[in-house]
Structure 1
Amino acid sequence: MRVDGPLLLAPDLVLTPDGPMDHYAAVVSGSTFLAVGPAEQLERTYPHLTPVRLRGHILMPGFVDAHHHLTQTFGAALAFGEPSEIFRRLWVPLEGALDEEGVYVAAKLAALESLRGGFTTVAEAGTRAPVDVELVAAAARDAGIRCVLGLVCNDTDSDADTTTILAHAEKHLVRYCTEELIHPSLAVSVPEAATARTLRDTARLAESAGAVVQIHVNEHLAAVERSLVEHGLRPLEYLHEVGALGPQLLAAHATLLTPHELTLLAGSGAAVSYNPVASAWKGNAVAPATTMAERGIRFGLGTDGTRGDAFRLTEAAEFAQRLAYGLATGDSSCGAGWTWLEHASRGGADAVGLGARTGRIAEGAAADFLLVDVSGPEMRLSWDLPWELVRRGNRDQITAVFVAGRLRLWRGWPLDWDGPALVRRAAELSRDVLSRAPVTRAHPTSTAARHAAAERSTAQ
Structure 2
Amino acid sequence: MPTEQELQAALAAPEKLLLPEQVLLPEGTRRGQAVLVRDGRFAAVGPADGIVAANPHLAPVTLPDTLLMPGFFDAHHHLTQAFGKGLAFGEPSEIFRRIWVPLEASLDADLVRLAAKLAAFESLRGGFTTAVDAGTRAEEYTGAIAEAARDTGLRCVLAQICNDGDGADPGPILRRADAHLARWQGDSLVHPSLAISIPEAATDAMLGAVYARCAEAGVVFQTHANEHLVAVERSLIARGLRPVEHLAAAGALGPNALLAHATLLTPRELAMLRETGTAVAYNPVATQWKGNAAAPAELMAAMGIRFGIGTDATRADAFRLLDAAEAVQRTAFGLANGDFSAGGGWLWVDHATRSGAEACGLGGVTGAIAPGLAADFLLLDLAVPSMLPSWDLSWELVRFAARDQITAVFTNGALRLWQGWPVDWDARALMREVTARVEAAVARAPIQRIHPTADLHRARHAAADAARAQGAAWSRS
Q: CA deviation at 1:132?
A: 2.6
1:32 pairs with one of 36, 41, 54: 41
Deviations 1:187-226 (A, max 9, x none): 1110010100110000000000010011000001011011
1:148 pairs with one of 154, 157, 164: 157
Q: Secondary structure at the match of 1:361?
A: coil
Partner AA of 2:16 in structure 1: L
2:317 pairs with one of 284, 292, 309: 309
Instruction: Answer yes or no: is 1:409 the counterpart of 2:417.
Output: yes
Measured in 2, the distance between the counterparts of 1:166 and 1:249 equals 18
2:444 pairs with one of 436, 439, 452: 436
Deviations 1:1-49 (A, max 9, x none): 2122310000001100111111111000011000000111111111111
2:79 pairs with one of 63, 70, 78: 70
Measured in 1, the distance between the counterparts of 2:346 and 2:247 equals 32
Measured in 2, the distance between the counterparts of 1:458 and 1:397 equals 45
Structure 2: 5+ residue runs without aligned partners? 1-7, 469-477
Which residue is 2:365 aligned to? Answer: 357
Instruction: Answer yes or no: is 1:286 the counterpart of 2:294.
Output: yes
Measured in 1, the distance between the counterparts of 2:458 and 2:194 equals 43
The aligned runs of 1:123-134 (5 Å cut-off) are 123-129=132-138, 131-134=140-143
2:120 pairs with one of 107, 111, 118: 111
Instruction: Answer yes or no: is 1:8 the counterpart of 2:17.
Output: yes
Which residue is 1:235 aligned to? Answer: 243
Partner AA of 1:163 in structure 2: G
CA contact (8 A) 1:99 1:131 kept: no
Measured in 1, the distance between the counterparts of 2:46 and 2:435 equals 45
1:41 pairs with one of 50, 70, 73: 50
Partner AA of 1:36 in structure 2: V
Q: Secondary structure at the match of 1:417?
A: coil
Partner AA of 2:375 in structure 1: A
CA contact (8 A) 2:25 2:69 kept: yes
TM-score of the pair, normalised by structure 2: 0.95
Instruction: Answer yes or no: is 1:60 the counterpart of 2:76.
Output: no
Q: Secondary structure at the match of 1:360?
A: coil
CA contact (8 A) 2:112 2:141 kept: no
Measured in 1, the distance between the counterparts of 2:308 and 2:118 equals 23
Partner AA of 1:233 in structure 2: L
Which residue is 2:427 aligned to? Answer: 419
Structure 1: 5+ residue runs without aligned partners? none
Q: CA deviation at 1:86?
A: 0.2
Q: Secondary structure at the match of 1:455?
A: helix
Measured in 2, the distance between the counterparts of 1:443 and 1:12 equals 48
Deviations 1:68-90 (A, max 9, x none): 00000001010001110000000
Measured in 2, the distance between the counterparts of 1:74 and 1:437 equals 11
Which residue is 2:88 aligned to? Answer: 79
Partner AA of 1:203 in structure 2: Y
TM-score of the pair, normalised by structure 1: 0.99
Instruction: Answer yes or no: is 1:275 the counterpart of 2:283.
Output: yes
Instruction: Answer yes or no: is 1:202 the counterpart of 2:210.
Output: yes
Measured in 2, the distance between the counterparts of 1:350 and 1:5 equals 26
| Identity across the alignment (%) | 57
Q: CA deviation at 1:157?
A: 2.7
Measured in 2, the distance between the counterparts of 1:379 and 1:446 equals 34
Q: Secondary structure at the match of 1:49?
A: coil
Larger Rg: 2
2:232 pairs with one of 214, 217, 224: 224
Instruction: Answer yes or no: is 1:319 the counterpart of 2:323.
Output: no
CA contact (8 A) 1:152 1:187 kept: yes
Measured in 2, the distance between the counterparts of 1:211 and 1:450 equals 47
CA contact (8 A) 1:279 1:286 kept: yes
Measured in 1, the distance between the counterparts of 2:246 and 2:408 equals 44
Partner AA of 2:444 in structure 1: R
CA contact (8 A) 1:216 1:251 kept: yes
Instruction: Answer yes or no: is 1:252 the counterpart of 2:260.
Output: yes
Q: Secondary structure at the match of 1:59?
A: strand
Measured in 2, the distance between the counterparts of 1:343 and 1:115 equals 18
Deviations 1:275-326 (A, max 9, x none): 0000110111000000000000000000000000000001100000000000
Partner AA of 2:166 in structure 1: D
Q: CA deviation at 1:430?
A: 1.3
Q: CA deviation at 1:130?
A: 5.0
Measured in 2, the distance between the counterparts of 1:44 and 1:200 equals 54
Measured in 1, the distance between the counterparts of 2:239 and 2:389 equals 56
